[in-house]
Chain A
Amino acid sequence: DVKVTQSSRYLVKRTGEKVFLECVQDMDHENMFWYRQDPGLGLRLIYFSYDVKMKEKGDIPEGYSVSREKKERFSLILESASTNQTSMYLCASSLAQTGTGDHYGYTFGSGTRLTVV
């Protein structure tokens, strides 16, 4: 019954490593999102994508990049991991707006807890 799958639940990486976080959804959703969640700071949007090969910066894109080559897959890349990127990373997807006022909620994955040492 899993609809948004994140490749790893826990990940430990070294400072300076290039890190790939993968997210796959099976609901044919147009929109996909990457958030990070930190205690006291809530969920903060890193990047989102509303179509294949399209991407938009969120609130905290610095140090991250994304890739969306296929509709169902959205990857988050940490170009050179740093200790301040230790966090819970959450991927989400949603249907696109129809313009009728209908809206559909986000479906989140279970998250990847990344520790950078």
Chain B
Amino acid sequence: LAKTTQPISMDSYEGQEVNITCSHNNIATNDYITWYQQFPSQGPRFIIQGYKTKVTNEVASLFIPADRKSSTLSLPRVSLSDTAVYYCLVGRMDSNYQLIWGAGTKLIIKP
């Protein structure tokens, strides 16, 4: 299973776009990339998932280059409530449970 590497922490300001990059050099052909958000004392919340190119939903975009060795979560116009830990995970398409959770990126949004 591919291990992921993310920055431990990031700071930004309200209204800015925030990009969090995740490295997964050993990603396999049948692996997908998923991002979760976690607030203190809550369970992680699914944000977005992709396999290649770009995926966008109502809260975020996910950019995946052609080699798929990294991915970037983009949060447009962040607010204070986006302060959370963000996890990047790589998992097999043929399995629901083979996921490795790293330490995540602690994102702090300042006023």
Q: Does A64 contact B (CB under 8 A)?
A: no
Asked if B104 and A31 sit within 8 Å, CB to CB, the answer is: no
Name the contact of B43 in the complex, choosing from A42, A58, A110 (C-beta under 8 A): A110
CA distance A98 to B91 in the complex (A): 15
Of the residues A43, A94, A97, A108, contact of B45 by C-beta under 8 Å = A108
B67 within 8 A of A: no
Give A77 Cβ to nearest chain B Cβ, in Å: 19
Give the distance to chain A from B84, nearest Cβ to Cβ, in Å: 13
A108 touches B95 (CB 8 A): no
B81 CB within 8 Å of chain A:
no
Residues of B near A94 (CB, < 8 A) are: 96
Cα A109 to Cα B41 in complex, Å, equals 11
Q: How far is the CA of A107 from the CA of B43 in the complex (A)?
A: 8
A50 CB, nearest partner CB in chain B, Å: 7
Contact A101 B96 (CB under 8 A): no
| Size category, B interface | 20 to 34
A contact residues around B51 at 8 Å (CB): 101
Give A40-72 as 1s and 0s: 1 = Cβ < 8 Å from B's Cβ atoms.
101111001010000010100000000000000
The closest CB in chain B to the CB of A103 belongs to B32
B49 touches A103 (CB 8 A): yes
Q: Which of B43, B91, B104 contacts A109 (CB 8 A)?
A: B43
Query: Is A90 an interface position by the 8 A CB rule?
Result: yes
Q: Are A97 and B34 in contact (CB under 8 A)?
A: no
A 93-111 binary contact with B (CB < 8 Å = 1; else 0): 0101100010101111111
Q: Check B95–A97 contact: CB distance below 8 A.
A: yes
In contact, B49 and A56 (Cβ under 8 angstroms): no
Report A73 CB to chain B, min CB distance, Å.
17
7 extra interface residue pairs, beta carbon distance < 8 Å, beyond A42-B101, A42-B103, A88-B41: A43-B101, A45-B99, A50-B97, A103-B49, A105-B34, A105-B49, A108-B44
- A–B Cβ pairs within 8 angstroms, 15 of them: A31-B97, A42-B104, A43-B44, A44-B101, A45-B99, A50-B96, A58-B97, A91-B43, A101-B51, A103-B96, A106-B46, A107-B46, A108-B44, A109-B43, A110-B42
